[in-house]
Structure 1
């Protein structure tokens, strides 16, 4: 709860009575919703008190993200009015609201705290298909088409590199799933599943794998398997 510093009135605009009402409103909201907010004197905006949502970054430092600010001052300065149910003109109260705060700061904190290992639904690339040899490329294309039908973000990594190098590349880019395709997988209609954590799930029927990935995607699950 970011309130004004009563010893530095020159740092703020608006009437003292409005400030008292606004700060009382935020205290009531804090109590009613059991937010557990802490009053921070001197942290208010120029025009009013605010509720700031503070999170800790990966280094343990406090970072402000979302904020809701109560502003009695600016509507008066701009001469804003509305007509109430009795036909009387009244000055509105303005709420400044930023759910995510600075978008760039939010994304930076998200990347920092996840190390880039986003949940499936948020990962830029969700699946990397890795055919062991050139003869497996045709089946890899079929797997890709089936994943695309579910709007899963997928690409085939058929670079002229070893399978292990391509797996490391996907892991370094935090791709949630690697689907390895060799002779056995082509013959049995399967894919061998590896997770970015390094866990080897093993060979599973393609339909089951697609159903599992799609379920994690649609439900916005935090786990991969």
Structure 2
């Protein structure tokens, strides 16, 4: 039984509504917070073990709305939400402020929830200038890195009914899935890793039916 990876696009942000790219690291709207309610109900029916989260505010707030501290949704309720900089939005050719994150210390101060693992955060994660690892032109390379992190994480869980959630962004999801799939705000879709030889450099993800997510027949 392969572990199911639920890919989630963040809920509606202020930038989604205003189309104002000059808003730095925007937060969710009230509607965005409401959009998370159905996902909260859906994931309450599953055995979620870990949540990987883009450190941008709209993704962090989406994760917190779906998995409030009092929900008890996690199998092991400590350090389950991992902030992974590689999951941040791609950004355009000229990266707008809305697609640039906030400094790690600021994030830690504002989102110091004890369930968050900040160990992957570095000061460089906000550097999206040309040539940097997080620059828009490196989105494909960054997506490959993120998939490998996820693949290595799920290996110990193979054969169980646990699942992992990834909260990220619309454009970046196309690189993560290596497809033209369009995720709407607060939409979740189930994936598994494709069977591969030991020398698996791409760690490809394959979408599965929500009814059959995690079913070994999808291998």
Normalized against structure 2, the TM-score is what? 0.28
TM-score relative to the length of structure 1: 0.28
Q: Which is bigger in relative contact order (C-alpha 8 A, separation at least 6)?
A: 2
Bigger Cα Rg: 1
